[in-house]
Amino acid sequence: MIMVYRTCMILTLLMLVTISLPTHSLTYGYILDELRHVTIVAVSQLSNGSYIGVSADLYVRVACPGSGHVYVETLPLSEIDLQASTRIAALVASSIANISFYSCDFYASIKSDSPIIGGPSASGVTAVAFAAALLRLPLNESIVMTGMVLPDGSVGPVGGLKYKLDAAVSRGAKMFLVPYGQTKDTIYRIVSQRIGPSVITRVIPETIDLISYGAQLNVSVVPIANIFEALEIFTNHMYKVTPTTSSLPNKLSNIYA
């Protein structure tokens, strides 16, 4: 199931980044150099084929003036889809802040103690961190988020939510933001049973209610539909969602035109 989600995400993002972008800048003279840190969560596969949740640190920097470059560093190395999704995150963040993407440079550094499965599931919180830097807003680091950012600012589905919630808890998270409609997750348990000389292995699906599961772990699981809602929560409502945010798809369509 995780691989199915990941394949769909990769195909979507790779199609998006192949669209040519104009070379002109829409904003001049903006001066900024801001750093932000958030915890991200991902899934790691064990040698026996099972999965666990792991955490990593995401450090972002936005420097203006710049040229619309996006730099990604990962340790351990990750896959190319992370680079594509980080670029989408920077585009969305600059549009939210109403600052030209081409007038700044964006840096993202991910450091983890464990190998993680690649994918764009951290691109949502990356967009939040970039936007907070552009708007000079602080972030509540007790909040963890998973979800794929889409070009219109909405948050798309991801896999491995139960494992990611476990990883968020291990980092002391008080709130876990998930894509809207994904407050339930299905995990697959491997059960082995010996019958005579043979060992029978079965895969048993189990549905987890993440809100109830989170409550047992003293973590609030909150569904969010878009980056605007996530940014408002992460900034303790210093950023306010307004009706004007609905203009983001139009602004992004101008960038992609």
- Please compute the mean of the pLDDT values over residues 132-157 and round it to a whole number: 97
C-alpha closest to that of 70 among 138, 143, 130: 130
Give yes or no for residue 191 having a pLDDT over 50.
yes
- Please compute the mean of the pLDDT values over residues 92-96 and round it to a whole number: 97
Q: How confident is the model at residue 82 (pLDDT cuts 50, 70, 90)?
A: confident
Q: What is the pTM of this model?
A: 0.83
Q: How confident is the model at residue 20 (pLDDT cuts 50, 70, 90)?
A: very low
Query: How much is the pLDDT for 76?
Result: 75
199 vs 35, residue with greater confidence = 35
- Please compute the mean of the pLDDT values over residues 13-26 and round it to a whole number: 40
CATH tag, 2-14+31-249: 3.30.230.10
Give yes or no for residue 28 having a pLDDT over 50.
yes
189 vs 135, residue with greater confidence = 135
Specify the pairing of strand 70-75 against strand 32-45. unpaired
Query: How much is the pLDDT for 21?
Result: 38
- Which amino acid, one-letter code, is at 244? T
CA distances to 28, 108, 176, 186 from 170, in Å: 43, 23, 12, 21
Q: How many CB atoms lie within 10 A of CB 221?
A: 21
- Please compute the mean of the pLDDT values over residues 44-64 and round it to a whole number: 90
Q: How confident is the model at residue 202 (pLDDT cuts 50, 70, 90)?
A: confident
C-alpha count within 13 angstroms, C-beta hemisphere, residue 185: 27
Q: Which of 2-11, 79-88, 133-142 has the lowest mean pLDDT?
A: 2-11
**What is the average pLDDT score of the chain?**
85
Per-residue 3-state assignment (H helix, E strand, C coil) for the chain: CHHHHHHHHHHHHHHHHCCCCCCCCCCCCCCEEEEEEEEEEEEEECCCCCEEEEEEEEEEEEEECCCCCEEEEEECCCCHHHHHHHHHHHHHHHHHCCCCHHHCEEEEEEEECCCCCCCCCCHHHHHHHHHHHHCCCCCCCCEEECCEECCCCEEECCCCHHHHHHHHHHCCCCEEEEECCCCEEEEEEEEEEEECCEEEEEEEEEEEEHHHHHHHCCCEEEEECEHHHHHHHHCCCCCCCCHHHHHHHHHHHHHHC
Q: How confident is the model at residue 165 (pLDDT cuts 50, 70, 90)?
A: very high
Crossing angle of helices 2-17 and 80-96, rounded to 10°: 60
- Please compute the mean of the pLDDT values over residues 115-122 and round it to a whole number: 78
Per-residue 3-state assignment (H helix, E strand, C coil) for 171-187: CCCCEEEEECCCCEEEE
Q: How many CB atoms lie within 10 A of CB 87?
A: 23
Domain boundaries, the chain: 2-14+31-249
- Please compute the mean of the pLDDT values over residues 173-187 and round it to a whole number: 97
For residue 139 the two structure tokens come to 């972030």
Contacts of 217 (CB under 8 A, 6+ apart): 165, 169
Query: How much is the pLDDT for 24?
Result: 37
Give yes or no for residue 11 having a pLDDT over 90.
no
Contacts of 48 (CB under 8 A, 6+ apart): 190
Q: Which of 60-64, 104-108, 154-158, 253-257 has the lowest mean pLDDT?
A: 253-257
Query: How much is the pLDDT for 62?
Result: 98
Q: How confident is the model at residue 146 (pLDDT cuts 50, 70, 90)?
A: very high
Distance (Å, whole) CA 45 – CA 47: 7
Cα diameter, the chain: 77
Q: How confident is the model at residue 18 (pLDDT cuts 50, 70, 90)?
A: very low
- Please compute the mean of the pLDDT values over residues 67-84 and round it to a whole number: 83
